[in-house]
Structure 1
């Protein structure tokens, strides 16, 4: 007998994909489905109807960190030098590199990092082109882009430190120092609110 309030896996996946999309975090449905089914198999060995409390736990767990969109309309952009912009682009490229090597380990987390890195690289590239067109080396980045970079970098560090990601092909200390340096730099950017 099915528990009242139980959800189908398809419904759990749809809720997760929808909540992530509301937060501008686009993750392919098949990756969310794989992650939900793996979590259910680890938990009970069954991917049948999901009890309401388990469904809520999965939804909240997969959407953790997806804070509501903030209003940046009245917020001034941060001004970065060409060197700082280059550091952001370098760390985002390295984030993609590390994440890609761990795709089979943690598909949902990797997909979020790849999506964040892609969005940030597009925004940074556009801002750098605008600075070049204006004849300045000052690159203006929105608070949303800075949050995306922070979230992406923190996600990679979590993968390396807490999720068992492999990065043996890289200098672990150097990689962590590069990520930490960018996080420090972003912390030094004047508050955006």
Structure 2
């Protein structure tokens, strides 16, 4: 891949969003902007990475390649059988995702990038779960078929909230901490047994 020349931070963000879009990965621009700014702040402590700041081509290229590289590698889910979940298991996933959205939204001002990733993952997983539940209902069965990609999204989302509450200083004092952790841990354990 050719390295770009000097680019403004805002242009780097736009290029990352464009490339992710080409790979069928829709990521809100503010998430990419926050992530780029965080990466630049770690690399250049004390600097303010405004959108108009011009970055050398080497740094711009590293950022673009770094943020887009993982999106090009996808697991082959076509060869993997979908997981079969009962109505109870599906309900537990939906409950965990709903609680994940609640906890994440409650901490939006504390950890915006991490929260946005969790909200995005939860939304995608809830849509997939709803569609799978409707398909099961239409077939007259209680067996809900979920793709490995959906299970990975649920796993990542739930683990992200658990990490937020346990090690990122997220507030969830208004909830029963033990019950919340037990729900998330139980869902992660359940998903560990599913392909």
Q: What TM-score do you get using the length of structure 1 for normalisation? A: 0.81
SS at 2:84's partner residue?
strand
Give 2:169's aligned residue.
164
SS at 1:74's partner residue?
coil
C-alpha distance in 2, partners of 1:106/1:67? 27
Deviation, 1:61, is 7.3
Give 1:142's aligned residue.
147
Shift in alpha-carbon separation, 1:160–1:64, aligned structure 2, 3 A: farther
Matches within 5 A, 1:1-193: 6-18=6-18, 20-21=20-21, 25-37=25-37, 40=40, 43-47=45-49, 48-51=53-56, 55=60, 68-189=73-194, 191=195
Structure 1 contact 99–110 (Cα < 8 Å) conserved: yes
Q: Which runs of 5+ in 1 are unaligned?
A: none
* Aligned-pair Cα RMSD in Å: 2.8
C-alpha distance in 1, partners of 2:110/2:62? 21
Deviation, 1:155, is 1.4
User: For structure 1, which segment, 163-172 or 121-130, has the greater mean C-alpha deviation from structure 2 after superposition?
Assistant: 163-172
Deviation, 1:178, is 0.8
Deviation, 1:68, is 2.4
Deviation, 1:17, is 2.8
* Corresponding pairs, count: 187
| CA offset digits 1:68-114 (Å, max 9, x no partner) | 22121122110000100000000000111011111112222211111
Q: Which runs of 5+ in 2 are unaligned?
A: none
Deviation, 1:56, is 6.3
User: For structure 1, which segment, 27-36 or 52-61, has the greater mean C-alpha deviation from structure 2 after superposition?
Assistant: 52-61
Deviation, 1:54, is 5.5
Shift in alpha-carbon separation, 1:54–1:164, aligned structure 2, 3 A: farther
SS at 1:79's partner residue?
strand
